[in-house]
Amino acid sequence: MFIFMNSTTCQETSLLVTAGLAIHSFGNFPEKKLSDAAMTGGRVDDDRAAMVTSDKDGIAGPTTITFIMDMGREAMELNGKIALVTGAGQGIGKAIALALAEAGAQVVINDIREPDAEELRRDPANIFRYTANVTRKRETEEMFRWVKTKFGRLDILVNNVGIIKDKSIFKMEEEDWDRVLETNLKSCFLCSQQAAFIMAEQKSGRIINISSRAWLGGYGQANYSASKGGIISLTRTLAIELAKHGITVNAIAPGLIDSPMYQSFRDDVKERLLKMQPVNRIGKPEDVAYAVLFFASDRASYITGQTLYVCGGKSLFSGIQ
């Protein structure tokens, strides 16, 4: 993953290098600043460093620096890994799938909706599509069989699929309860079970479940909160059962994320929700994808059964405000 950045001091550079980020630089980047960065313990790419030229005033004075940071790419490298993301035709799942593909994995995008020709045309070569309803056992089994036949293995499963049907307890129908529990929680069980069969055989694997901050409770979300709390309990239990098979299982609990699901809210609701955010913005699908990349990476091999909040601090408050 590359970040393009303009800066006037080398302080940010040093901080980033200290944080373990490798920096490749080019453009007007004074040599002293480059060596300062290197002295903090980071790695500076020698080839690119050779291209570096001092600005016209030498090392002193404000300089516009343009550099590319290779953001922990080695740590997040997923070359040769096979990943499957459920409900990834749009929104958060799509961002997760693209991030995994960018990190080098071969990624299967599952969705209940058939992709259109334009989506297929845009797919990078390491993205594959499989249409299936993951609440149905037979369709789910067929999808995992297809993955095993095509790739011979499965390294990463992201249980992302999820829907909402918010209503107060006085208005919630049995069908609202069943659909949400089935789509959000049963699918997680069905897919995790199929993945576990494959991963246990190969003695390695990562299961990453997308829960929600709403598992803590949310007005009008009895069905959704229960399903997302269920995902956290399932995550913990599977982590216990699967650890000895070399499989880690973790959950991510996003807060408000700007996806089609969020866009479906009324404007006044969106405004009210934004006011309740400690970090004064709505999250991006990529914010969740970065957390998935971490759990999928070698660096997270000693972490299992955990829930990581990606919610701009919203989990610090109760559901009633």
Which residues have a catalytic role annotated? Answer: 224
Burial 79-102 (b: 16+ CB within 10 A, else e): eebbbbbbbbbebbbbbbbbbbbb
Does 256 bind ligand NAD (CB under 6 A)? Our answer is yes
Applying CB under 6 A, among 32, 113, 145, 150 the residue interacting with ligand NAD is 113
Distance CA 109, CA 44 (A): 36
Does 163 bind ligand NAD (CB under 6 A)? Our answer is yes
Does 210 bind ligand NAD (CB under 6 A)? Our answer is yes
Does 257 bind ligand NAD (CB under 6 A)? Our answer is yes
Contact segment (CB under 6 A) with ligand NAD among 17-25, 52-60, 65-73, 249-257 equals 249-257
Site for ligand NAD in 47-86 (CB under 6 A): 86
Distance CA 154, CA 319 (A): 37
Q: Which residue, 181 or 261, has its beta carbon nearer to ligand NAD?
A: 261
Q: Which residue, 13 or 259, has its beta carbon nearer to ligand NAD?
A: 259
Q: Which residue, 161 or 199, has its beta carbon nearer to ligand NAD?
A: 161
Q: Which residue, 75 or 282, has its beta carbon nearer to ligand NAD?
A: 282
Does 183 bind ligand NAD (CB under 6 A)? Our answer is yes
CB of 113 to ligand NAD, least distance (A): 4
CB 78 within 8 A of CB 156: yes
**Judged by CB under 6 A, how many residues of this single chain contact ligand NAD?**
28
Assign 3-class secondary structure to 262-306.
HHCCCHHHHHHHHHCCCCCCCECHHHHHHHHHHHHCHHHCCCCCC
Residues 6+ apart with CB under 8 A from 217: 225, 318, 319, 320
CB atoms within 10 A of CB 17: 22
Residues 6+ apart with CB under 8 A from 229: 211, 215
Q: Which residue, 42 or 254, has its beta carbon nearer to ligand NAD?
A: 254
Which residues here bind ligand NAD, judged by CB under 6 A? 86-87, 89-93, 110-113, 133-135, 160-163, 183, 210, 212, 254, 256-257, 259-262
